[in-house]
């Protein structure tokens, strides 16, 4: 059963209970008042009759006086009088006032008015024996009470219905934002991060709405960043492949061609007996092969950065430094590596930090010295990459390098700081990574 229906049912039950209790209390009071009124009416009637009976023996026309006595009760609201003869036959009765519509029997029974009649024997007169019977007549009052009861019930029912309707409207309005939130959450589950909710609910709901919007915003930003990173990765891979193709074409191609030419010339020298010229050509071939070997090694370093896991972190960083040192002969490296062999995810993250740190330094800072230090701290590995280049921001990069770095570090529970170096000189990146307990130590 929906929550709002339950709330309305409970409120309805409470109202019904209150109405029932109120009616019972009012009914009890009405019954008391009615009884008192009837008792007073009967007392008055009895006194009237007693007074008349005192004068009756002296009367010349007792029958007429008795009839007149009965007539005095005509129209009495509370007492009905009947004159009975010696045989119990009715001689005269008073005419009781009639209400519009008699109250229903159950209502009368509920008020429990006792119909206690009173029979007063006639005094000795010429009229003879007989009695005057007085009977309480509560019908008029009960009828009036019934009408009041109906009016009261009408007011109560209409008020209760109006109250319930208002509660229903307020609850429905209060629940509407929750329904919208539920729909948006379902959308979020389906990957729709753009949906937001209007922040217009009651204070309690407003917190939920704000929280939802913040969460959806964060998810949207993360998803956009992931997309961007994926695109960046794809672009990088494309660039890398084009770069490698160029290197193979420009560096290896001409040397292979030169080697084949030299081999042909050697064959010709051998055929024509010019053996003295052959060693020089052989040296040429050997030098070209050495050059190509170096090129192929460098390419392998670029193609296989995951050698971290294969040859260890220190070897991978040393290879990286060699790679850059050959390309930037004027750039100096200061390398401090730990004695312990580090592998696993920590090593992978540390390598990526050094790789991007050095990349950035070369690209943005144009430094003369890059310091790379990996040191063991208390239960952590401290990775530092510092340079003495410029720390001025340069436009042009996609700005994903440092973001990716932070994500890698934080995913492993570590922390990262970067920015211009001390006294605004150069640039510094520092990461604290959890020391690899299981797989890291040898």
Q: Which residues, other chains included, contact 74 with Cβ-Cβ below 8 Å and sequence gap of 6+?
A: 94, 95
Q: Which stretch binds Mg ion (CB under 5 A): 100-108, 122-130, 145-153, 356-364?
A: 356-364
As a dihedral over the C-alpha atoms of residue 436, residue 439, residue 441, residue 442, rounded to 10 degrees, the angle is: -170
Q: Taking CB under 6 A as the criterion, which residues in 391-420 touch ligand ATP?
A: 391, 393-394, 397-403
Site for Mg ion (CB under 5 A): which residue of 76, 343, 355, 360? 360
What is the smallest separation between the CB atom of 352 and ligand ATP, expressed in angstroms?
Answer: 12
Nearer to ligand ATP, 247 or 388 (CB): 388
Q: How does DSSP assign 127-142, residue by residue?
A: T-S-EEEEEE--HHHH
What is the smallest separation between the CB atom of 357 and ligand ATP, expressed in angstroms?
Answer: 7
Rounded to an integer, what distance in angstroms lies between the CA atom of residue 180 and that of residue 27? 49
Nearer to Mg ion, 45 or 358 (CB): 358
Cα-based distances in Å from 280 to 266, 277, 294: 10, 6, 21
User: Are 45 and 197 in contact, with CB atoms under 8 Å apart?
Assistant: no
Rounded to an integer, what distance in angstroms lies between the CA atom of residue 64 and that of residue 50? 17
User: Are 86 and 130 in contact, with CB atoms under 8 Å apart?
Assistant: yes
226 belongs to the binding site for ligand ATP (CB under 6 A): no
355 belongs to the binding site for Mg ion (CB under 5 A): no
Q: Which stretch binds Mg ion (CB under 5 A): 59-67, 324-332, 381-389, 401-409?
A: 401-409
Site for ligand ATP (CB under 6 A): which residue of 41, 136, 365, 436? 365
Cα-based distances in Å from 185 to 191, 212, 213: 10, 8, 11
Site for ligand ATP (CB under 6 A): which residue of 41, 62, 143, 389? 389
Rounded to an integer, what distance in angstroms lies between the CA atom of residue 29 and that of residue 23? 10
Count of chain residues binding ligand ATP (CB under 6 A): 17
Backbone angles phi, psi at 243, to 5 degrees: -60, -45
Nearer to ligand ATP, 23 or 232 (CB): 232
Q: Looking up tokens 């039950």, which residue turns up?
A: 13
125 belongs to the binding site for Mg ion (CB under 5 A): no
What DSSP designation does 76 have?
-
Site for Mg ion (CB under 5 A): which residue of 201, 401, 426, 436? 401
Q: Which stretch binds ligand ATP (CB under 6 A): 22-30, 137-145, 297-305, 357-365?
A: 357-365
Nearer to Mg ion, 191 or 396 (CB): 396
* 395, two tokens: 């436009």
Binding residues for ligand ATP (CB under 6 A): 360-361, 364-365, 387, 389, 391, 393-394, 397-403, 427
């Amino acid at each position: 059963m929906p929550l709002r229906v339950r709330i309305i049912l409970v409120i309805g039950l409470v109202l019904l209970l209150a109405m029932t209790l109120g009616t019972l209390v009012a009914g009890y009071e009405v019954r008391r008042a009615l009884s008192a009124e009837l008792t007073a009416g009967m007392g008055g009637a009895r006194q009237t009759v007693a007074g008349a009976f005192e004068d009756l023996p002296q009367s010349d026309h007792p029958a007429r006086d008795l009839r007149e006595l009965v007539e005095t009760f005509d129209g009495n609201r509370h007492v009905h009088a009947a004159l009975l003869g010696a045989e119990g036959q009715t001689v005269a009765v008073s005419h009781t006032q009639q209400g519009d519509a008699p109250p229903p029997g159950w209502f009368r029974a509920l008020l429990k008015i006792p119909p206690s009649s009173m029979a007063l024997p006639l005094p000795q007169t010429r009229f003879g024996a007989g009695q005057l019977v007085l009977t309480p007549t509560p019908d008029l009052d009960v009828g009036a009470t019934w009408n009041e009861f109906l009016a009261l019930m009408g007011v109560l029912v209409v008020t209760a219905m109006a109250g319930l309707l208002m509660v229903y409207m307020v609850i429905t309005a209060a629940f509407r934002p929750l329904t919208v939130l539920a729909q948006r959450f379902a959308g979020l589950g389906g990957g729709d991060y753009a949906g937001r909710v209007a922040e217009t609910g009651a204070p309690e709901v407003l917190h939920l709405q704000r929280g939802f919007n913040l969460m959806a915003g964060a998810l949207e930003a993360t998803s956009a960043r992931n997309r961007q990173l994926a695109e960046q990765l794809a672009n990088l891979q494309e660039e890398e492949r084009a770069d490698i193709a160029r290197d193979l074409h420009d560096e290896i191609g001409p040397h292979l061609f030169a080697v084949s030419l030299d081999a042909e010339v050697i064959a010709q020298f051998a055929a024509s007996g010019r053996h003295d010229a052959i060693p020089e050509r052989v040296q040429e071939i050997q030098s070209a092969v050495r050059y190509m070997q170096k090129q192929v090694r460098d390419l392998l370093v670029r193609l296989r950065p995951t050698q971290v896991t294969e040859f260890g972190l220190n070897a991978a960083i040393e290879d990286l430094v060699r790679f850059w040192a050959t390309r930037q002969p004027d750039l100096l490296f200061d390398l401090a590596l730990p004695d312990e062999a580090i592998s696993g995810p920590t090593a992978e993250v540390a390598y990526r930090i050094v790789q991007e740190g050095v990349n950035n330094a070369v690209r943005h800072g144009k430094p003369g010295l890059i310091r790379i230090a990996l040191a063991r701290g208390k239960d952590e590995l401290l990775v530092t990459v510092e340079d003495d280049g410029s720390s001025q921001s340069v436009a042009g990069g996609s700005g994903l390098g440092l973001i990716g770095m932070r994500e890698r570090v934080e995913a492993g529970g570590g922390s990262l700081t970067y920015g211009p170096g001390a006294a605004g000189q150069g640039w510094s990146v520092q990461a604290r990574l959890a020391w690899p307990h299981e797989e890291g130590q040898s």
